[in-house]
A and B are shown apart, each in its own frame.
Chain A
Amino acid sequence: DAGVIQSPRHEVTEMGQEVTLRCKPISGHDYLFWYRQTMMRGLELLIYFNNNVPIDDSGMPEDRFSAKMPNASFSTLKIQPSEPRDSAVYFCASSQQGVSGNTIYFGEGSWLTVV
């Protein structure tokens, strides 16, 4: 089975540019999570969706960040405008209610560098 698929794997962009990260969750999974990982702050939950509906976005750092899930198989995390402090690894993850203890499965991450 295909796992969680993220793109791009690596992105280098200039400050002020718009960045869009994409995620395809595991088929059948009804929860989708966006995490950010940095050395300073560790693994942070940004937002999560249940059945395509945002449930908790309290981790989204500021208005420059937005996330959408237009359907069960696709989600985006957008940063506009990007800043150097946004440099991090962004993970998308998914899980299925009531299956395997709702184990969360991660994508390989999107490495973002803002210069």
Chain B
Amino acid sequence: AQTVTQSQPEMSVQEAETVTLSCTYDTSESDYYLFWYKQPPSRQMILVIRQEAYKQQNATENRFSVNFQKAAKSFSLKISDSQLGDAAMYFCAYRSYGNQFYFGTGTSLTVIP
């Protein structure tokens, strides 16, 4: 079975600075999708960014970008110009070919004013 590992339970960043959240996964599949979700205190799960495994180019959404290393099975999220509203729990997720979703245990991000 696929597993998703987020090795950083907590991270903090100064407002306006850049932070990188780590995620690794284990799979034998060649075709899959990876996601980052944000969960603020309201508990709403919000899609941040999506990456197709067959694409070489790293996905970018405004201040959010990923560093996708397929061979290393690594999928990190970079948040640039951090804002107070970025404070949340961040989950890395893997979608298998069979449409199963696997989530990591999350990284709690604190933004320091």
**A interface residues with partner B (beta carbon < 8 Å):** 31, 33, 37, 42-43, 45, 48, 50, 56, 89, 91, 93, 95, 97, 100-106, 108-109, 111
Contact = CB atoms under 8 A, between A and B. Distances in A.
Interface of B: 33, 35, 37, 42-47, 50, 52, 91, 93, 95, 99-101, 103, 105-106
8 contacts: A31-B99, A33-B101, A42-B106, A45-B100, A48-B100, A100-B50, A108-B42, A111-B43
Contacts of A109: 43-45
Given A42-B106, A95-B99, A101 B33 contact: yes
B99 A103 contact: no
* Chain A interface helix/strand/loop/mixed: strand
A102 B43 contact: no
A97 B99 CA distance: 8
B52 A101 contact: yes
B91 A43 contact: yes
A106 B44 contact: yes
A105 B47 contact: yes
A91 B52 contact: no
B44 A102 contact: no
A100 B103 CA distance: 18
B106 A102 contact: no
B35 A103 contact: yes
A102 B34 CA distance: 10
Contact of A42 (B42, B43, B100, B105): B105
B45 A106 contact: yes
A102 B53 CA distance: 13
Contacts of B50: 100-101, 103
A111 to B, nearest CB: 8
Contacts of B33: 101-103
Given A101-B52, A102-B33, A102-B95, A45 B47 contact: no
